[in-house]
Structure 1
Amino acid sequence: MVGAWVAQSAPRPLLWVAAAVAVAALSWWAVGRVRRTRERRALARTDLSELDLMSGTEFEEYVAGLMRVHGYTAVIVVGGADDGGADITARSPGGSEVVVQCKRWRHPVPPNDVRAFIGILNSSFEGYQGIFVASNGFTEAAAREGAEHMVLVDRDGLARWMGGVEVPEPRRA
């Protein structure tokens, strides 16, 4: 009805259409900005001790939120029983395709889990860069295994990321 009025009565119908498109774009931008601001505030209120109380799924969602706030795009949480070894997929601020493995454990991640993720990177996610986030770090052997193949984010690295001091960026392929 409004469209018919604009077409018949308005002196410049294209101007009305352009204004409607501009208002829609501005609204979309504003809603996204409010959502990112809320997410940023929620992330800022979380400390490491709260991460220890999260479930694995909550931890994956939290890491995905950190990624969004720090410039990662197309962030999708794919975790679950049938995730194929990937908890999150995204595009880094530098443009690389990224796959993330998250472990919210009470103990350091052992080498066999790092090896399994290396295998996933080389088969199911060939061409992706890997980031392995572990709430309680990695054993020495696991850190040695993964250092050449992916970015490892241990507890200290996670704290720096949460504080916005150091955002993990995958290596260039």
Structure 2
Amino acid sequence: MRYKRTYYRHWYLRRSARFAPSTAFSSVQIVGGATLILLFVYLTYQFGFSLQMAVMLIFLFLAILLGIITAVGIWLMYRRSMRWRALEVSQIDALLGIEFENYLAGLLKFKGFRQVMVTPPEGDYGADLTGYLDGKKYAVQAKQYNSWKKVGVEAIYQVLGGEKKYDCQATMVITTSYYTEQAKILAEKSKTELIDRDILLDWISEYVRK
């Protein structure tokens, strides 16, 4: 689906770089290390604790801190999942390319797919996502079009290329629009499953209500 890639990818990468995990992790390391040193000094000299007692208290502090961080992380993941589910159709139409693919990844998992992966932006060979369903590995092509612009046969050819690239046994195309008659004929011959706007809206409706 990777259309209008240049602008969207640069925008996404700039935004991602601004909140790079490595930068955040380094900050946590620095703050955490300084806090432990101050805590050790405070416990040792202010309360006259032995070295062994001070170390035990620090480990207790770390265990509590780790529990809090884990709980917050789980809560943030849950909150993000709920935000994805609450999206309305108009909002899904407005998602950027990579955001739409990430949304579809969650939707496919909801529909029973396992090990769903979004493929790298460059060189995807026509498969935007891959995943397993009923023992088969699927190559999935995502087409985020306006409802008036129908998906043609090129999408079928693209996903068939992705099927070979990622050693898949089945193919699927998902779109926010509809398909041309030629695309439907080719999909039937190649046994490619087509998910159009109406089916996608049904999936989303189930996803939101779950």
Superposition TM-score tier, normalisation by shorter sequence? 0.5 to 0.7
Cα shift at 1:77: 0.6
For 1:104, which of 125, 140, 144 is the aligned residue? 144
For structure 1, the 5+ residue unaligned runs are: 1-26, 166-173
Partner of 1:147: 188
Report the CA distance shift for 1:100/1:79 in structure 2 as closer, same or farther (over 3 A): farther
Q: Which moved more, 1:110-119 or 1:127-136?
A: 110-119
For structure 2, the 5+ residue unaligned runs are: 1-69
Residue identity opposite 1:70 in structure 2:
K
Q: Does 1:160 align with 2:198?
A: no
Report the CA distance shift for 1:108/1:127 in structure 2 as closer, same or farther (over 3 A): same
Is the Cα contact below 8 Å between 1:39 and 1:65 reproduced in 2? no
Is the Cα contact below 8 Å between 1:118 and 1:146 reproduced in 2? no
Q: Does 1:65 align with 2:103?
A: no
Q: Which moved more, 1:152-161 or 1:125-134?
A: 125-134
Percent identical pairs in the alignment equals 26
Cα shift at 1:115: 2.4
Partner of 1:52: 93
CA distance in 2, matches of 1:113, 1:144: 13
Q: Could you say what the CA RMSD is over the residues aligned between the two structures, in angstroms?
A: 2.7
The runs of at least 4 aligned residues of structure 1 exceeding 6 Å deviation read: none
CA distance in 2, matches of 1:114, 1:163: 26
User: When the two structures are aligned, how many residues end up with a matched partner?
Assistant: 135
CA distance in 2, matches of 1:34, 1:151: 34
Cα shift at 1:79: 4.3
* Structure index of larger Rg: 2
**Cα distance per residue 1:119-140 (max 9 Å; x no partner):** 443x324442111101112112
CA distance in 2, matches of 1:39, 1:154: 26
Partner of 1:116: 158
CA distance in 1, matches of 2:173, 2:80: 22
CA distance in 1, matches of 2:171, 2:121: 18
Is the Cα contact below 8 Å between 2:105 and 2:118 reproduced in 1? yes
Partner of 1:137: 178
CA distance in 1, matches of 2:131, 2:153: 25
Is the Cα contact below 8 Å between 1:114 and 1:142 reproduced in 2? yes
Residue identity opposite 1:116 in structure 2:
Q
For 2:130, which of 75, 89, 93 is the aligned residue? 89
Higher-helix-fraction structure: 2
Cα shift at 1:141: 1.4
Partner of 1:169: none
